[in-house]
Structure 1
């Protein structure tokens, strides 16, 4: 996490060497080249990169030695204190430590800012809410506390909403019949679509340092849920065809199946031949009855299988629905308890302390994000 900002600092100080009286000149103000007089240099304790430029090439000096000067700071500051655990619903504070230079009791002391305004506060999905100076800032230290937040609309539409819709579509597929394979093909399509979705967004997800965004765990849960639902659907489809999870090399149906083939052959013989005696007609009729009973028994076994699979299917639907509801409740609780927080780091350079308050710098700051 880094914040890049442009800060315009309007400074005013008194330089006794630049005073003049009416005998020297009647002018109240003069413009002097900025490189010909002394100008203060600011120190940023927690900056990663700093570029300082004068706002203009001239400074305004009054006859009393008051100097008006403007400085432009291009700053990059590390903001590890902001946690991305609840991304995209993130807000936090980042401190920009602007100080005067001091060493061994001698140097420059910066007074607190008197006027701070924010310009161009929106950059991408991040927004600068406010810039303040905390009251608990250590002595001789000035901290611009930048309050940041993320606009969640874009992330919700592109990240959260698609995953939620795919999970809802997976629940709706339980309304399709297990037989036929239409449900299995749709579930496989959902798994492949979600996998492609994750591959596309892999480079766009925030890492978050120590506290990885909960969005990563959300995607992991969705993928596992979809794959598990697909496997369950395939197993149920297998059970509708046979009462075994895995096919067997020697498939033996009940006695009905064993005798069914023989009865069919006998029935063919019966229909093509004519019996001359009553005994043979009774035997033929008995075989026809056995054949019809075997067919009826086979249909009953198939219906019993389908009824058992339908019960399992309803149980699986209730299970996945229960898991999804529990997951939503857990996510709401975890995001509201602040379970993952970044540790506060010391941003101040404790070696440079100044006890002498004779020289002061007064200025107002215009903050650009």
Structure 2
């Protein structure tokens, strides 16, 4: 009951991350009928191209061997080994294209369905899979029912095709008993190719339906509950509480770093308690004053407090302080439109310092 309830709760389509994780683990949609179709197509290619010319060449070689068999020198094991080696090469040349076509067909059926990848976990034995309950559910579940329908379809269609072909060539098969034996292989090959062609046509339909079913069933098994979607979203985007805490810590660090730079300021422009902007001017390093700290309300008061503690001049200019706060960034030079106003204040500060020194 718990498993059924769990399946019923999985109403959300799988996310891209869930799909990608499944593919990386080797869980991909695979049609079991595609390799069958590939082998049938390979058999057609073999029957149409490889078998005819290959058999003729092999028969010719064997006939030549029989013709000269009386003159073969088999006096010792070396001669027998050489003859065996020669026969093996001829048989190998006959079988090589057949094996190559079948191998390429089988690999193509796998590679065209999914991108090839090495997943060691897929071959790792898992004792959890040795479950009678799960095996029973696989056999009598939706997947097992679909496999049963495919088996019935294949059996019935192949039987119908074989019956139709034999009925169509019934007279040829009867006359084969009175035909030259050398013509029998060609006739058998032609009938076989027609049989395989008919089965291929039916299998193409079956593979198309099977691919659509396997992909639909695969996505259905990857469905997620609403809670799983929320958890994955949190995992991808980050927990809002944790992210808020991280932003708060980052702001605190930036504020502390800013406050530690106030003692190196040349002056502070205030308004008079709501805004404060601390500026440092060093003509050798920067062509214009640099904002080392700025703040509003409590932070502005803190900047003023640090400035007064370190004997840094605090100039009250409401309009300029508000404008500097809105238009500048910390550790950046002030914009050109403030050059004149700030330059006048700096000249005033320097002149006052010189008078105090005298």
Indicate whether the TM-score tops 0.5.
no
Work out which of the two has the higher radius of gyration on C-alpha atoms and give 1 or 2: 2
Length-normalised TM-score, structure 2: 0.25
The answer to which structure has the higher helix fraction is 2
More strand by share: 1
Q: What TM-score do you get using the length of structure 1 for normalisation?
A: 0.24
